[in-house]
Chains A and B, each alone.
Chain A
Amino acid sequence: MPDGPILVVDDDETILLTVAEFLEFEGYSVATASNGLEALGIVERSQPALVLLDMRMPVLDGWGFARAVRERGLGVRILVMSAAADARRWAHEIGAFGVVPKPFELDDLLHAVVSHYPG
Chain B
Amino acid sequence: MTAAQLLQSVSWCLYVAIFVLVVARVVRLPTRANADITLFFGATTGIILTSTVQTALDLSSAVWLADVAVALLMLLPYLLMRLVADFSHVPTVVIRAIQAAVVVCVVAYVGFWAQLPGPITVLLVACFVVITGYDAWAFMREAGRSVGVTRRRLQAIAAGTLCVGLVLVFAGIGTAAPASAGFWAALGQVAGAVSAIAYFAGFAPPGWLRRLWQQPELDHFLQRAAALAHLPDIQSVVRAIESGVAASFGAPAASVGVWDPASARLRFLTDSTAVEDGWWYVDPHERAASGRAFLRQHPVLVRDLEHEDPADAELYRAFNARAALAAPITSGTDRLGVLVVHADREPLFATGDLELLRLLAQQAATILENRRLVDEAARVHAREESLRMKQDFLSSAAHDLKTPLTGILTQSQMLLRRAELNPAAPSSMDGLQRLLRETRRLKTVVLDLLDAAELEPTEGPMLIREETDLVELAREVSRARPRVTLQAPGPVVGAWDRARLKQVLEHLLDNALLYDRSDNAVIMRISQQPNRVHITVIDQGIGIMPEDLSYLFERFHRGRNVDDRRHAGLGLGLFVSRRIVELHGGRIWAESELGRGSTFHVEIPLAAPGPTASQVSGQPRMGAHA
- A interface residues (Cβ-Cβ under 8 A, vs B): 11-15, 17-19, 21-22, 25, 56-58, 61, 83-85, 102-106, 109
Tell me how far the C-beta of A24 lies from the nearest C-beta in chain B, rounded to whole angstroms: 11
Cα distance A61–B24 when bound, in Å? 84
Residues of B within 8 A of A57 (CB): 565
Cα distance A17–B430 when bound, in Å? 10
Q: Is the CB of B417 within 8 A of A106?
A: yes
Residues of A within 8 A of B88 (CB): none
* Chain A residue at smallest Cβ distance from B413: A106
B565 partner, pick from A13, A61, A104, beta carbons under 8 A: A61
Q: Is the CB of A83 within 8 A of B565?
A: no
Q: Is the CB of B438 within 8 A of A84?
A: no
Q: Is the CB of A22 within 8 A of B414?
A: yes
Q: Is the CB of B406 within 8 A of A11?
A: no
Residues of B within 8 A of A19 (CB): 410
Tell me how far the C-beta of A23 lies from the nearest C-beta in chain B, rounded to whole angstroms: 11
Q: Is the CB of A102 within 8 A of B565?
A: no
B552-573: CB near A (< 8 Å → 1, else 0) gives 0000000000011110000000
Q: Is B395 an interface residue (CB 8 A)?
A: yes
Cα distance A56–B430 when bound, in Å? 25
Contact A12:B403 (CB < 8 A) given known A25-B417, A103-B409, A104-B409: yes
Residues of A within 8 A of B234 (CB): none
Contact A12:B407 (CB < 8 A) given known A58-B566, A83-B398: yes
- B interface residues (Cβ-Cβ under 8 A, vs A): 394-395, 398-399, 402-407, 409-411, 413-414, 417-418, 430-431, 434, 437-438, 563-566
Tell me how far the C-beta of B99 lies from the nearest C-beta in chain A, rounded to whole angstroms: 93
Q: Is the CB of A83 within 8 A of B402?
A: yes
Tell me how far the C-beta of B567 lies from the nearest C-beta in chain A, rounded to whole angstroms: 9
A-B interface contact total, Cβ < 8 Å: 71
Residues of B within 8 A of A13 (CB): 434
Q: Is the CB of B410 within 8 A of A104?
A: yes
Q: Is the CB of A18 within 8 A of B407?
A: yes
Q: Is the CB of B434 within 8 A of A17?
A: yes
Tell me how far the C-beta of B387 lies from the nearest C-beta in chain A, rounded to whole angstroms: 16
Cα distance A106–B413 when bound, in Å? 7
Residues of A within 8 A of B434 (CB): 13-14, 17-18
Contact A15:B407 (CB < 8 A) given known A25-B414, A58-B566: yes
Contact A58:B407 (CB < 8 A) given known A17-B434, A106-B413: no
Q: Is the CB of B406 within 8 A of A83?
A: yes
Residues of B within 8 A of A12 (CB): 403, 406-407
Q: Is the CB of A105 within 8 A of B398?
A: no
With A18-B431, A21-B431 given, can you name 18 additional A-B contacts, CB distance below 8 Å? A14-B438, A15-B410, A18-B434, A22-B410, A56-B399, A56-B564, A58-B563, A83-B402, A83-B403, A85-B398, A102-B403, A102-B405, A103-B402, A103-B409, A103-B410, A104-B409, A105-B413, A106-B413
Contact A84:B395 (CB < 8 A) given known A17-B434, A25-B417: yes
Cα distance A83–B399 when bound, in Å? 5
* Chain B residue at smallest Cβ distance from A21: B414
Tell me how far the C-beta of B487 lies from the nearest C-beta in chain A, rounded to whole angstroms: 32
List 25 contacting pairs A-B, 8 Å CB cutoff, sorted by A: A11-B565, A14-B407, A14-B438, A15-B403, A17-B434, A18-B407, A18-B414, A19-B410, A22-B414, A56-B565, A57-B565, A61-B565, A83-B399, A83-B403, A83-B406, A84-B395, A84-B398, A85-B394, A85-B395, A85-B398, A103-B409, A106-B410, A106-B413, A106-B417, A109-B410
Residues of A within 8 A of B395 (CB): 84-85
Tell me how far the C-beta of A112 lies from the nearest C-beta in chain B, rounded to whole angstroms: 13
Cα distance A83–B565 when bound, in Å? 12
Cα distance A15–B410 when bound, in Å? 8
Tell me how far the C-beta of A92 lies from the nearest C-beta in chain B, rounded to whole angstroms: 18
Tell me how far the C-beta of B193 lies from the nearest C-beta in chain A, rounded to whole angstroms: 89
Cα distance A15–B435 when bound, in Å? 10
Residues of B within 8 A of A61 (CB): 565
* Chain A residue at smallest Cβ distance from B567: A58
Cα distance A45–B86 when bound, in Å? 101
Q: Is the CB of A15 within 8 A of B406?
A: yes
Q: Is the CB of A84 within 8 A of B399?
A: yes
